[in-house]
Structure 1
């Protein structure tokens, strides 16, 4: 069992809920120090995005963060270097897109992650029926490949996703891309309820979690919450202290 899965299971075993903040690697101020501060704010794991020129899952805030990061010349190695520099004791997972891993070569990409101490890889556009080889290469290096379960999926596909995912299952809270919503979508509970019968893995909800209160609602039925755009928004606005205060507020509601 990987460090990521072990950590999230341990949180669940003590009847608590996991808080996983997301930040876009390579964006100004997203460095080892910020990752350490997120860990100090109570994160159970951290998700670091590898910037992409066509981030199909992401809404405006993270698209802008990716644009800025790429404009600065950010490469995969730069993102991984910030993770190495952080040297946090909690698991770190990267969020990337399939063509980034494929272009590097699955085996070389997994080697890069392993050397950097990365515990997991979230690949939103990796179809479950194409995940086996990548997941096997990653698992051999102690890395979990996390798959996404989205609203409106068939029971058969939920079963397949649950069987193929490692570390946890990323339950997508709402239709559409990442970004703030006025309220927690009812589909969030529906996805968790649909996936739960097929796996004992922790089920974490993400996408569209805009406020600490919404995160608290989600933690009532999920094993944890992933928060991305809401935390990146103050960073994009040039307010890193505000982002950390918000992270602490999210932590306080995810019980």
Structure 2
């Protein structure tokens, strides 16, 4: 790992290049933090590529190869003069009959479905949320996680009343995200409900097809019997971009909020490889 540069000091083009060497599709990433998170996860969990970082980032130019091949093809003219007499005598002899050659077997063709599947196996679902101070809009923190196919999905949404505070969920091509369960901590919710006018918190979702933030689960002070919802049953396959928001139902003026924890799993989209 000593030949690898520090991820925080790498340029965006260098991040893309090294992610490509791991077979990770980064076309759906927008923020640099998503590139750095995916690359750090790849270095920690995947075997090193066969090529080094320098070979990936700085390939040898083809001009040098052509120049070396042209120089090696040049031979001194004196050798041709020495063999002129022998070539004239050998030209009188009949040319030997070439031995029959067998055609080399054609190389096996690469199945494009296998390549797509391999790329999807190395492409993580990313979840990213910036935590801002209101009303100044200063960024005071962030939550950034990535999940490869086969791993459980778990993300804590910081509660807010601003749609701009939504978490961005990016699902790459050939990968599916399942969200089955959402919950809130009992102690944190009880403290929040002590505020005057506080009602609860709702989990809201929007997609590329419908950008409106719609509630899919609400914890209400007087109506909810439990602190967990286990029947979300939401399954989305990529390439897709979602927004998730833990929307605080009143009582947020004091600045206190509650996290909503979302759970599920990440898997390959089997329909894409049949």
- Normalised by the shorter chain, which TM-score bucket? under 0.3
Rg (Cα) greater in structure: 2
Structure with the bigger percentage of strand: 2
The normalised TM-score by structure 1 is: 0.24
**The structure with more helix, counted as a fraction of residues:** 1
